[in-house]
């Protein structure tokens, strides 16, 4: 599932590529993906300019000039492609937005959604999300305070979007590896020094992942050399059985409350 770095990469690239353009047409192939009948959806968005593309947690927000917002959550398997009718990918799309001769394809949204909401509805929908881990106001002390309210397992807390927004399976493991802390640790057992390490690793890993375009495999558009660059830089995620890049011991791949989890028992404590 795309996480903060992937969605922030999409946000930056889409703002550069289509920010300020008007939606000239739209097509809804799967009405369950949107929250309105297809013709009503098209009537509201057609001809409206994209004033801002923003992100909150794992969501993208396409702000329109008529004060409506398209709220996107890709969930598991969703991804975007920006192209033309001639270079589209050989797979189905659930929704398309045309912007002149360019088309934004929304692929794999069997579980995800693209909902058209007012700004007031957006505020209500996102109100229960936790803080952004890369926000300037989010400090090590803030993380320590959040952790003081938890009694469970570290990874379970890190992927809880109501507690902290944007981190999922991949980056929870990568952050814990960078910090040298097992993701299976109980939160009350963490020392103040480990909490500080966890905070610094959170900043380092998420910023590095954004620098290299996250782990999405499909480029956003032809010539996109950024998207997916972090895929080869994952230290533990999806590397079960492979040698640890830090100590050469085998990386453990396991399950924790139905989630995949990867770690090194030799250099994570």
Active site residues: 2-3, 58, 259
- Beta carbons within 8 Å of 156's beta carbon, 6+ residues apart: 256, 257
Helix (H) / strand (E) element for 149: namely none
Structure tokens at 149: 């309210």
For 209-257, the three-class secondary structure string (H helix, E strand, C coil) is HHHCCCCCCCCCCCCCCCCCCCHHHCCCCCCCCCECCCCCCECEEEEEC
Strands 68-73 and 79-83, sheet pairing: unpaired
User: Do residues 245 and 235 make contact, with C-beta atoms less than 8 angstroms apart?
Assistant: yes
Helix (H) / strand (E) element for 73: namely strand 68-73
Distances (CA, A) of 143 to 127, 131, 140, 200, 253: 19, 10, 5, 11, 27
User: Do residues 99 and 23 make contact, with C-beta atoms less than 8 angstroms apart?
Assistant: yes
Of the candidates 170, 178, 175, which has an alpha carbon nearest to the alpha carbon of residue 246? 178
Q: Look at the alpha carbons of 205, 111, 87, 55 in this order and tell me if their dihedral is positive or negative.
A: negative
d(CA 112, CA 240): 28
The Cβ of residue 239 has, within 10 Å, a number of other Cβ atoms equal to 19
């Amino acid at each position: 599932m795309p996480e903060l770095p992937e969605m922030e990469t999409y946000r930056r690239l889409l703002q550069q590529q289509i920010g300020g353009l008007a939606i000239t047409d739209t097509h809804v192939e799967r009405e369950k993906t949107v929250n309105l009948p297809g013709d009503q959806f098209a009537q509201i968005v057609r001809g409206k300019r994209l004033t801002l593309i923003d992100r909150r947690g794992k969501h993208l927000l396409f702000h329109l000039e008529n004060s409506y917002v398209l709220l996107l959550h890709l969930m598991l398997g969703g991804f975007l492609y920006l192209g033309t009718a001639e270079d589209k990918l050989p797979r189905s799309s659930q929704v398309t937005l045309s912007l002149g001769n360019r088309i934004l394809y929304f692929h794999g949204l069997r579980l995800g959604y693209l909902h058209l909401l007012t700004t007031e509805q957006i505020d209500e929908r996102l109100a229960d999300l936790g803080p952004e881990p890369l926000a300037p106001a989010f400090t090590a002390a803030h993380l320590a305070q959040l952790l003081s309210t938890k009694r469970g397992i570290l990874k379970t807390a890190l992927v809880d979007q109501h507690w902290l927004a944007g981190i999922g399976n991949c980056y929870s493991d990568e952050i814990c590896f960078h910090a040298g802390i097992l993701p299976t640790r109980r939160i009350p057992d963490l020392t103040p020094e480990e909490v500080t390490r966890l905070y610094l690793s959170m900043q380092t890993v998420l910023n590095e992942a954004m620098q290299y375009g996250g782990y999405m495999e499909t480029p956003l558009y032809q010539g996109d050399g950024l998207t997916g660059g972090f895929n080869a830089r994952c230290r533990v995620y999806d590397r079960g059985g492979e040698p640890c890049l830090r100590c050469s011991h085998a990386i453990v791949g396991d399950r924790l409350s139905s989630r995949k989890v990867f770690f090194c028992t030799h250099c994570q404590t």
